């Protein structure tokens, strides 16, 4: 099992000579943390909002992937500018990545909704420890950190700048759509001439639509397309909400996992919303007999900067 995890982790890292896959963290509840993917979302709701996001993947594997994200954003008073914070940490086996970005967006009224154009600036730290288990004893790869018969390839620990761009459009309680890209510089990080890591650009398309069945029942289909050109992943989700409080849903990732989810959203008398959602991924790929499933939790808080008149059936902030 350890050898299998090591092979899987090597597929996720961008070393020279290794098959490349997507490097950014993967989250099933993508619809609950839009700022994580799109700088244009900053300030879109006009409120002060924050989200905590945690994912424990493949629980049966030692050193299995763990991902953590913290995002927050607000609209600067009396301006069209949105400002945010985006922190992510991702770890799988000997590989650890830290993202820290500050998104800034310009929000404008358009066709009854809000269009945000944003850029995020920050840093990216990539660490790869040489203390990992060789999947093939005696094999030598000079491009990967590790302890070999001839000696040790040094570990990788590099810090660099990071830049992303996003455009996000929404009409409250009706529709949203966003396109974005991360890691625009696509730097080459290296410890030696042989130990190198290529940061790849990632591209995202996300969209959702509100279908009100009646004043209390609502269905919201969501979709996320993620690609780094080498690999493309499509997540499709359907979320059901009752009375803007009870949340139930299902996410499907093609040939990888299906994930039911359940949650609850509470509104205080002052208009603050508190939301918690839990999901569990059932693995569908070839490792389903080993993975042990995946847990994911999000907790979000949103506080209105200005008092809004609420309709009798709910609040517009859930899917702005």
Our CA angle for 294, 59, 260, nearest 5°, is: 20
Evaluated on CA atoms 28, 29, 33, 35, the torsion sign reads positive
Q: If we measure between CA atoms, which residue out of 119, 125, 135 comes closest to residue 99?
A: 125
User: Hey, where are the domains in the chain?
Assistant: 2-304
**Phi-psi sector, 43: left (phi>0), alpha (psi -120 to 50), beta:** left
Distance of CA 122 to the CA centre of its chain: 16
| CATH fold group of domain 2-304 | Porin (2.40.160)
Distances (CA, A) of 298 to 52, 90, 105, 130, 204: 6, 16, 24, 33, 20
Q: What is the pLDDT along the chain (320 residues), one digit of tens a residue?
A: 444 444 444 444 444 433 345 678 889 999 999 999 999 999 999 999 999 999 998 877 777 889 999 999 999 999 999 999 999 999 988 888 999 999 999 999 999 999 999 999 999 998 887 666 555 655 555 556 665 555 566 677 888 999 999 999 999 889 999 999 999 998 888 776 666 778 899 999 999 999 999 989 999 999 999 999 888 999 999 999 999 999 999 999 988 899 999 999 999 998 899 999 999 999 888 777 777 789 999 999 999 986 545 444 444 444 45
Give the global pTM: 0.82
């Amino acid at each position: 099992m350890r050898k299998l995890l090591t092979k899987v982790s090597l597929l996720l890292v961008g070393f020279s000579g290794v098959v490349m896959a997507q490097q950014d963290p993967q989250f099933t509840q993508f619809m609950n943390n839009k700022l994580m993917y799109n700088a244009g979302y900053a300030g879109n709701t006009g409120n002060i909002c924050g989200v905590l996001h945690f994912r424990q993947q493949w629980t049966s594997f030692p050193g299995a992937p763990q991902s953590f994200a913290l995002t927050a954003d607000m609209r600067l008073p009396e301006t069209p500018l949105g400002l945010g914070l985006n922190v992510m940490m991702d770890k799988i086996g000997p590989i650890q990545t830290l993202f820290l970005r500050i998104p800034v967006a310009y929000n404008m009224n358009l066709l009854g909704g809000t269009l945000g154009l944003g850029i995020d600036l920050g840093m990216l730290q990539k660490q790869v420890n040489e203390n990992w288990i060789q999947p093939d004893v005696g094999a030598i790869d000079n491009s990967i950190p590790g302890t070999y018969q001839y000696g040790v390839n040094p570990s990788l620990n590099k810090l660099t700048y990071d830049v992303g761009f996003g455009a996000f459009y929404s009409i409250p309680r009706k529709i949203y759509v966003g396109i974005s890209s991360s890691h625009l510089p696509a730097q080459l990080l290296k410890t030696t001439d042989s130990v190198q890591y290529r940061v790849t650009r990632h591209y995202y398309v996300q969209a959702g639509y509100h279908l009100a069945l009646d004043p209390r029942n609502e269905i919201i289909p969501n979709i996320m397309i993620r690609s780094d050109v080498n690999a493309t992943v499509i997540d499709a989700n359907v979320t059901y909400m009752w009375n803007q409080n009870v949340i139930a849903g299902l996410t499907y990732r093609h040939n990888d996992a299906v994930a039911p989810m359940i949650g609850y959203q509470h509104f205080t008398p002052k208009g603050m919303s508190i939301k918690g959602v839990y999901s569990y991924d059932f693995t569908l790929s070839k490792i389903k007999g080993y993975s042990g499933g995946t847990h994911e939790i999000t907790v979000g808080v949103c506080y209105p900067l200005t008092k809004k008149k609420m309709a009798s059936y709910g609040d517009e902030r859930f899917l702005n």
